[in-house]
Structure 1
Amino acid sequence: MVDPILTVAPALVLLLVVELLVIRHRHQGSSNKSLDKKDISTSLAIGLVNQATSVLKVGSGAAALLVAASITPFHLPSGNIGIWILTLILADLAYYGAHRAQHRIRILWANHSIHHSSQHFNTSAGFRLPPLFFLTILNKAVYIPLALIGIPPPMILTAELIILLYQFPIHTEQIRMLWRPIEFVFNTPSHHRVHHGSNKKYLDKNYGGIFIIWDRLFNSYAHEDEVAQFGLTKNVDTYNPIKVVLHELSAIAADVRGTPRWRDRLGYAFAPPGWAPTARSGEDGSNFSASWTFASRVKKL
């Protein structure tokens, strides 16, 4: 099974070329960090690595939806425009939930952080699609409820593709603010610059795929009111695509190996990025790590 992204890759590359020409025209005679050729090459290389695992990702997602569709008693018509609109809205809400979890659960962040690893912001960042297929289970599982309520799997997969493709052109600094009603409802370049910013006030904000309205509803919205510093809070200073892909998994492995307590090992893997055990004194005067539970973790999502 071929990843649909591959079929539209030429158009996405053309979009990148057009943007880079615009950047070059606007900054004639001056340097511009958005034209870092090595960074763009790294993004495109990661996109190729992602394609190498696409069969497993797309195939497993489609299989899960087909199984769900086969066991549900509900079957909605695929030719109804209202069902298409409902599918896109529900799929985008599911994407929001998965995306938020990817930022708040470190083992999932190990995969998603690849997308945030560029310190520049242009369309090439859209090619940094996480290739670690064994960590994309949640991404696909969130769409299963849509199949269970009777939405045909092809419609769900199409909606998922639309959500992903929508986000390619909003990876840009060349478009500032759009018409206010659009900015209120939809994800825009301004909102997505916030999402990719490593500024403290921008961290874990603006998760929406097509609609920013979910962030407004679930208290994860931030307005762009200062220049975004793109990249990670601790950047990976390499253009090696393999190192970029594996850097956070390696960091998790090192943290897990460095602590003897299973409670802390679970924290390093499943707590938010940046989590660390804090020592406090017990009744006997000894020090022990602060407790961490899945319940407290879920509460903060």
Structure 2
Amino acid sequence: MIKAAFDPVTLATPFFILTVILEIALARFGKLEARYETKDTAVSLLMGLGSTLAGLLTAGASFAAALWIYQHRIFTVPMTAVWAWVLVFLLEDMTYYWFHRFSHERRIWWAAHVNHHSSQHYNLSTALRQTWTGGVAGTWLLWLPLSLLGFPPAMVAIQKGISLVYQYWIHTEAIRRLPRWVEAVFNTPSHHRVHHARNPRYLDRNYAGILIVWDRMFGTFQPELDEEACRYGLVHNLGTFNILRVAFHEWIGVTQDIIRSPRHVLGWLFGPPGWSPDGSRDTSASLKAAWEERRKAPIAEREAA
């Protein structure tokens, strides 16, 4: 099968818009917890529209690459088999975990992903604040091994769409905690609030798409704590609703760094966000280390007394 039978994201788009409106309305009447700001929401919606248009420009190249890889596949996986859908669900979800993790750990992919974290609010519209440059950055490359294994590109595309639709509803403060078994297995609003938080304790945690088990397996899980509320946005917030700055500010920063010090180009591109040759900038690791020192200081002082 060459062409996807349907696109889950396209089918779900009216639902996205209606539920954003519903969340705003219910919050206004005090029926649920949700914080919206008009300009912030407008940026999120425009980023979503721009992401859709940008995706159309690169979708052909990425799908053609997947088709070429599929022609050299190791196995042939039938789209009609239930076991094949279970397997592609697990493998695609693990692929998403690593894509998402690399998008936080490598600056070139962070430049494409950072706009999704740029809102200081956390609501359903935040889910729509998507990248304009992910296709150009080559984030789709990580899914090509699935076609090499023998999964039809259309099958992979459908499963990717299902994953994105799932991740929409977890962008909310209206849902606090779900039953323990759900929180143990699936990505939930509670887990994803942690992922969007800029608190040092919460930085670079909970990369899951659908299953939170990957974070538990690979050591990146962090539960949301009642004693520490999530603060949203970037470590250094933009302070603007200029959509072009939201979309491209990190790419501009990368370019400026390379021009300023071209011999460190590999570090600027593939180091962690905040990397610098002299270590003078904040990285997630340095912020966590500083927070840990502050946390331990009162304990050490009490023990000394």
Q: Please give the TM-score of this superposition, normalised by the length of structure 2.
A: 0.85
Q: Is the 8 A contact 1:56 1:133 kept in 2?
A: no
Q: Is the 8 A contact 1:44 1:128 kept in 2?
A: yes
Q: Percent identity?
A: 39
Alignment of 1:17 with 2:18, yes or no, is no
* Distance in structure 2 (CA, Å) of the matches to 1:183 and 1:118: 25
Q: Is the 8 A contact 1:103 1:272 kept in 2?
A: yes
Structure 1 residue 60 displacement after superposition: 2.4
**231, 234, 240: which one aligns with 1:232:** 234
Q: Is the 8 A contact 1:147 1:153 kept in 2?
A: yes
Could you report, residue by residue, the CA deviation over 1:237-282 in whole angstroms, capped at 9, with x for unpaired residues? 11111110011111112222222x51x2321221001111128xxx
Structure 1 residue 66 displacement after superposition: 1.0
Q: Could you say what secondary structure the match of 1:232 adopts?
A: coil
Q: Aligned ranges for residues 185-224 of structure 1 at < 5 Å? A: 185-224=185-224
Q: Aligned ranges for residues 1-301 of structure 1 at < 5 Å? A: 5-26=9-30, 34-138=35-139, 140-225=140-225, 226-259=228-261, 262=263, 264-278=264-278
Q: Could you say what secondary structure the match of 2:157 adopts?
A: helix
**Pair 52,163 (structure 1): closer, same or farther in 2 beyond 3 Å:** same
Amino acid at match of 1:204: D
**Pair 42,91 (structure 1): closer, same or farther in 2 beyond 3 Å:** same
Instruction: For structure 1, list consecutive stretches of 5 or more residues without a partner in the other structure.
Output: 280-301
Q: Is the 8 A contact 1:95 1:209 kept in 2?
A: yes
Instruction: For structure 2, list consecutive stretches of 5 or more residues without a partner in the other structure.
Output: 280-305
* Distance in structure 1 (CA, Å) of the matches to 2:56 and 2:43: 22
Q: Is the 8 A contact 2:12 2:165 kept in 1?
A: no
Could you report, residue by residue, the CA deviation over 1:79-125 in whole angstroms, capped at 9, with x for unpaired residues? 11111011011000001111100000001101100100000000111
Q: Could you say what secondary structure the match of 1:115 adopts?
A: helix
Q: Please give the TM-score of this superposition, normalised by the length of structure 1.
A: 0.86
Structure 1 or 2: more helix by fraction: 2
Structure 1 residue 57 displacement after superposition: 3.1
* Distance in structure 2 (CA, Å) of the matches to 1:85 and 1:273: 35
* Distance in structure 2 (CA, Å) of the matches to 1:123 and 1:102: 21
Amino acid at match of 1:100: R
Q: Is the 8 A contact 2:27 2:34 kept in 1?
A: no
* Distance in structure 2 (CA, Å) of the matches to 1:266 and 1:96: 24
Q: Is the 8 A contact 1:3 1:51 kept in 2?
A: no
Q: Could you say what secondary structure the match of 1:35 adopts?
A: coil
Alignment match, 1:289: none
Aligned residues: 273
* Distance in structure 2 (CA, Å) of the matches to 1:257 and 1:55: 31
Q: Is the 8 A contact 1:118 1:125 kept in 2?
A: yes
* Distance in structure 1 (CA, Å) of the matches to 2:13 and 2:104: 26
CA RMSD of aligned residues (A): 2.0
